[in-house]
């Protein structure tokens, strides 16, 4: 009898765990349709191109090689993150300056202090608007905003490409909105990799209607892009370009290496509308 009870309990636990991700992050594979446009190879090339800038943004903390694409100059951007009793000052991104455009790339979570930023789910409201955003990401952006604005002021006629992974994708999103309020005549492109939900529906619609381009790439097995969902009522940008690599590790599924591999080798590239 005891063995039977134990067996039933174990079976219930297995069923619960196997369905836990669907309970927390409901999303059916049938939601995904195959993206088979004529420019599929071009999209993959662009996705790889802008991800390489993000990988370079990790180089100060992970010793990744710096990407070079014929730029005139590369400028480091630093952030200052305070968490409880300590403060971390580090390179959070790079700005690449070309003849006709600039690329602003943000790395993702690396330090414990970055995890503290990720956990600050509560709203920050942009004054005079109905636009609510992730408070932690806004605070993070505030620590490096002046550096970036100074660079852009010297390149104000150029197209702007903003890209990031993980936390960096969230910061890139907020920066794209803020730059639009200052440089609405510029073409502003946003490339996101493993981006958490960080803006409310009103801001999401506004950005989709006004930015030149928003491209979001997600590993199907990565939980980060689905969070935080219930706590803050944030939304994701669509369309979302999907690949699927399962590493059986939450950290692995979200890693920049997996995103790089997914873009280059997974066929076919899919999109969620």
Task: Report how far residue 33's alpha carbon sits from residue 164's, in angstroms, rounded to the nearest whole number.
Answer: 25
How does residue 243 score in pLDDT terms, banded at 50, 70 and 90? confident
Residue 219: inside a domain: yes
Would 58 be classed as within a structural domain?
Answer: yes
Residue 88 lies in a domain: yes
Backbone angles phi, psi at 267, to 5 degrees: -125, 140
- Number of structural domains (the chain) is 1
**229 lies in a domain?**
yes
Span 16-44, mean pLDDT?
A: 42
CB 134 within 8 A of CB 232: yes
**pLDDT tens digit string along 71-86?**
999 999 988 877 666 6
pLDDT of 273: 56
Instruction: Find the radius of gyration of the CA atoms of the chain.
Output: 20
66, pLDDT greater than 80: yes
Flag the least confident range among 84-88, 170-174, 224-228, 267-271. 267-271
Q: With respect to residue 221, please indicate whether it lies within any of the assigned structural domains.
A: yes
Q: Which two tokens stand for residue 153?
A: 């002021």
Kindly write down the DSSP assignment for every residue of 5-44, as one continuous string: HHHHHHHHHHHHHHHHHHHHS---GGG-EE---TTHHHHH
Phi, psi of 15 (to 5 degrees): -65, -40
Which residues are 70's β-sheet partners?
none
The answer to whether the pTM exceeds 0.85 is no
Whether residue 245 lies inside any domain: the answer is yes
Residue 78 lies in a domain: yes
Name the burial class of residue 178, with classes exposed (0-12), middle (13-18) and buried (19+) by CB atoms within 10 angstroms of its CB.
middle
Q: Give pLDDT, residue 6.
A: 53
* Segment holding 265, helix H or strand E: helix 256-265
- Residue 199 structural domain: 31-272
Q: Where are the beta strands (DSSP E) in 18-131?
A: 33-34, 73-83, 86-97, 101-106, 123-125
Task: Please give the pLDDT value at position 203.
Answer: 97
pLDDT tens for 258-273 read 999 998 755 555 666 5
The pLDDT assigned to 23 comes to: 32
C-alpha span between 51 and 163 (Å, rounded): 7
What CATH number is associated with residue 60? 3.40.50.1820
In this structure, are residues 188 and 212 in contact, taking their beta carbons and an 8 Å threshold? Answer: yes
Between 50-54, 108-112, 179-183, 263-267, the lowest mean confidence (pLDDT) is in: 263-267
Decide: helix, strand or coil at residue 184.
coil
Q: Is 194 exposed, middle or buried (0-12, 13-18, 19+ CB in 10 A)?
A: buried
Q: What is the mean pLDDT of residues 47-66?
A: 88
In whole angstroms, give the CA distance from residue 199 to residue 201: 7
Quick check: is 26 in a domain?
Answer: no
φ, ψ for residue 245, nearest 5 deg: -130, 120
């Amino acid at each position: 009898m005891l063995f039977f009870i134990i067996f039933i309990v174990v079976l219930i636990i297995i069923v619960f765990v196997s369905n836990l991700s669907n309970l927390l992050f409901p999303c059916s594979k049938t939601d995904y349709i195959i993206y088979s446009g004529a420019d599929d190879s071009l999209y993959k090339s662009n996705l790889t191109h802008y991800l390489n800038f993000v990988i370079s943004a990790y180089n100060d903390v992970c010793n990744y090689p710096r990407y070079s694409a014929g730029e005139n100059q590369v400028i480091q951007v630093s952030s200052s993150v305070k968490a409880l009793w300590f403060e971390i000052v580090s390179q959070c991104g790079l700005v690449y300056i070309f003849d006709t455009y600039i690329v602003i790339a943000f790395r993702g979570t690396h330090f414990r202090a970055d995890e503290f930023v990720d956990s600050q789910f509560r709203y920050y409201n942009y004054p005079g608007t109905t636009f609510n955003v992730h408070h932690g990401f806004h605070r993070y952006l505030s620590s490096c905003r002046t550096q970036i604005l100074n660079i852009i002021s010297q390149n104000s006629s150029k197209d702007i490409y903003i890209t990031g992974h993980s936390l960096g994708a969230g910061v890139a999103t907020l920066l794209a909105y803020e730059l639009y309020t200052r440089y609405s005549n510029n073409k502003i492109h946003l490339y996101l990799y493993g981006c958490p939900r960080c803006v409310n529906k009103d801001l999401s619609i506004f950005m989709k209607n006004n930015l030149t381009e928003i491209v979001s790439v997600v590993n199907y097995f990565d939980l980060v892009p689905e969070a935080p969902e219930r706590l803050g009522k944030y939304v994701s940008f669509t369309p979302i370009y999907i690949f699927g690599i399962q590493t059986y590790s939450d950290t692995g599924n979200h890693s920049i290496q997996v995103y790089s591999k997914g873009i280059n080798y997974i066929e076919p590239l899919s999109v969620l509308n």
